[in-house]
Each structure stands twice: as structure tokens, then as C-alpha cells.
Amino acid sequence: MENKGTILMQRYELGKLLGQGTFAKVHHGRNLKTGTSVAIKIIDKEKVFKVGMINQIKREISVMRMVRHPNVVELYEVMASKTKIYFVMEYVKGGELFNKVAKGKLKEDAARKYFQQLISAVDYCHSRGVFHRDLKPENLLLDENENLKVSDFGLSALAESKHQDGLLHTTCGTPAYVAPEVINRKGYDGSKADIWSCGVILYVLLAGYLPFHDSNLMEMYRKIGKADFKFPNWFSPEVRRLLTKILDPNPCTRISIAKIMENSWFCKGLEKPITFETEGRELNPLDADAVFSANESNTLVVESKNELVAAKPCNLNAFDIISFSAGFDLSGLFEERDRKKEERFTSNKAASTIISKLEDIARRLRLTVKKKDGGLLKMEGCKEGRKGVLGIDAEIFEITPFFHLVEVKKSSGDTLEYQKVMKQDIRPALKDIVWTWQGEQQQLALPPPPPPE
């Protein structure tokens, strides 16, 4: 199935081999529908099972689905067969940043540009609760415009991986780039550890060699633990000051990303603060378990970013009602319900009662009801979030005069903020008018009887 010219699941043509590791191969591919070039990472399930790497692969799927940033390699979709898992990713044809460094040190302006893009990507990952934990030049790719792209989230951790002490405890990463607190195995802050790795990368870009290196691994660990390194004579005073703050062996006093982004050396050449558009690019997290359950009779294509977009009918017919019900909703195979950007519930209340309830919730959450056309309510916050003002739409569909389907979805703003508001505020406040939430029943429920007159 991995030979050049193979058609993969009637969706992609498999091209030349780009790279190969112990458990995976990466091929160039072409989308048969659009002609777009992609990179297809092919993972052997049997090898993954044998070495106990299932959780690592699941984590990589979940993490890449959460992170959408111009300096992070984009995951388009995941597919699986009985024996293989396929990651279809953005094709970054400029190769590894490592290849540039291997030829010698970079000029300061070039190193700064890559470092600025790296910090922007890492800052965004941390804002989503994602810590990479294996940052190094080999995992930083360059596109045709010389823009940096962070890749390989196989060792990444999510915020929920933290122990009760709030720290991560898995020793991982590449030794020369690993923070001292990771080596000490006493628990560490994933964001602080990533900052250290970014500092080592900046040093390597400017020097052409590693700050901590020794043929004896224990001696190298000693040097890392004490931040025992020297600056080449061509390092400017500004760079030296910044790197001293980043390569601080004490994570408690190590500089934060926010402070790095305020640093005068870092800010040189930045015409404006690093921003990016992600609205409309965020995806619902994938059900990573699904890729391990595909068998010979069930070749699985996990949701693509451009597909499975549900239509939103104004008037429901019998097919619409069935397709919205949990028993017939195939999206449950691929998505985690509590992370969706839209949720649906049925109610045995009159439309006026539902509208009144939603307006009451909006008032309590200090959301303004901007628009009310028929069964559509548009609610907006008054404060600017990380990605603009939070907007929530609620659309009511009448099935019978006393049985309605209500769809609640995020129309603008940050998805994680929306999910938090839904879980902590909106869902609990709706409990007295909800008949059932979609996904919390196993079969199509009959409408309840109308209330007594």
C-alpha cells in the first residue's frame, strides 16, 4: 500500500519516500480531488502495539488537532486501516532547519526571524495547554518562503497530563536540548522546559554548535544542570543577556515567554506584534481511540477539515430529525462530544419559553442578544478575548408546537472559552427545559406528550 503511485483510500496518490523512522515512514502525497501536495505519515500499528506507544500516537493526534498556527505543521486528517495509521499533513518542502545549521552558524537577523516564529508557535501551543517537550532543529521545518513550522508532537503533553503537584513527570526529549529539571526527575513545568529548549535552539542557530556537549552523557547532564556553557565571541551583548535569562537552570527564575516577546533584541525587525488568524481553522478534536479500532471490514477516515459539515435546515423533515438524533449520528465515531463547537438538545417546552430562558442566561452571563430573527438568537460578550469577542448562536427548530430541537454553537471568539461557558454555565442553566442533549441517548426518542392544557 506504501509503494509510489499507490492510491490511498481513493483520496490520495502516494509519492516518493521523504523520510523513515523506526515506527513510521513519511511519503509525499497528492490529494486526488484538489491536486494539493501533502505529507503522509504512515505508522505501523503492530510495531506501535509491541512497544507500547499507543498512548503516544493518540496524544499526537489529539494535540495536532488542537493546534492551528501558521508556524505549526497542520494536520489535515487521520485515516486508519487494520494495519496502518495515516496522518495526512501539510507538506513543508524546505526541509529541516537542522540542515541549515549543519552547514554553519546563521546570521543574527536570520536566526532572530526563526526564533521569533518559534516563540510565537510555542506561546500559542502553551495557550492551548500543549507542551511540545522535544523542541530541536530536527523538528523545525521550513516552507518554500523560509517560514518555520514546528513538527513532531509525538512526545508532547497536554495540560491534563500533569500530576496533582501540577508538574509533568515523564523524562523525554533529546538530551542536549532537555531542561535540567526534566533530567532531575522531580517534576517540571512543561512551559518552562520548552522555553529552555528554545534557548538551546537559539544558541545553536547563532553558534553553529551546541552549548552543552560532551562525549560522556553524565558529564553533559552535569553541564546542563549547572548551565555550564560559554558564549562565542561573536555573540552580541543583547543576545548574551537574553540567553542567560532563558538558560537559567532554576525554572522558577527562568524568563517567561511573555518577557521574551518584550525583549529588545527579540523585537528587532518585528513590524507589528505576532498575530495570526485562526478563526474558521479550528477543528473539533478527533477521537484518537477510533484509529486503533479500524479493522478489515471497517476502513476508517477520521473527519477531514473540509468535510462532514452539517447542513442547518430551517424546517426539519423526517430525515433531518433522524440525522440529528444520537442513534443515527455517525459523527460520534469521530468526535468527543464535550469538545464540539456546536451542541444540540431537544425540549418539550414552547418556543417562547426556550427563547425566554436563553435570554435570561444571556443576561446573567452579561451577553447581549444582538439579533432575533424567527428562531435565531445571536448572543455576544462585551469583553475582547484572545481571539476576539465570544459569540454564541442558538437556533430553534420546531418539530411539533411543544417539541423543539435547539442548536447552540460558537459563532466567534475562542473555542476553549466557548466550551468552558457551555460546560460550566449554559448547560446547567438549561437543565429545567432540556428533554435530552444529543449524544446522551442511544436511540431516537419519541417526542414527549404535550403539557396538559
Q: Per-domain residue ranges for the chain?
A: 7-90, 97-267, 308-437
**Is pLDDT of 261 > 80?**
yes
177-181, 305-309, 361-365: least confidently modelled range:
305-309
Active site amino acids: 134
- Per-residue pLDDT averaged across 116-145, rounded? 86
pTM summary value:
0.58
* Residue 310 banded pLDDT, cuts 50, 70, 90: very low
For 186-215, give one letter per residue: b (16+ CB within 10 A) or e.
eebbbbbbbbbbbbbbbbbbbbeeebbeee
Q: How far is residue 343's CA from residue 81's CA, in Å, rounded to a whole number? A: 30
- Per-residue pLDDT averaged across 122-135, rounded? 82
What's the CATH fold of domain 7-90?
Phosphorylase Kinase; domain 1 (3.30.200)
**Is pLDDT of 111 > 90?**
yes
Kindly state the percentage of the chain with pLDDT values over 90.
Answer: 25
Kindly report the number of other CB atoms within 10 A of residue 356's CB atom.
13
Task: Say what the pLDDT of residue 395 is.
Answer: 86
- For residues 27, 85, 92 and 258, what is the CA-based torsion angle, rounded to 10 degrees? -160
Task: Say what the pLDDT of residue 10 is.
Answer: 85
**Is pLDDT of 332 > 50?**
no
**Is pLDDT of 199 > 90?**
yes
**Is pLDDT of 174 > 50?**
yes
* Residue 439 banded pLDDT, cuts 50, 70, 90: low
Q: CB within 8 A of 385, min separation 6: which ones? A: 413, 414, 417
* Residue 216 banded pLDDT, cuts 50, 70, 90: confident
Any idea how long the chain is? 453
Residue with cell 403539557: 451
What's the CATH fold of domain 308-437?
TATA-Binding Protein (3.30.310)
Count CA atoms closer than 13 A to 359's CA, side-chain side. Answer: 12
CATH number of 97-267: 1.10.510.10
Arithmetic mean of pLDDT over the chain: 75
Count CA atoms closer than 13 A to 25's CA, side-chain side. Answer: 13
Q: How far is CA 97 from CA 106, 114, 210, 322, in A?
A: 11, 9, 15, 51
* Residue 448 banded pLDDT, cuts 50, 70, 90: very low
Ligand-binding site membership of 41 (annotated): yes
Q: How far is residue 409's CA from residue 249's CA, in Å, rounded to a whole number? A: 45
Question: Burial level of 183, CB count in 10 A (0-12/13-18/19+)?
Answer: middle
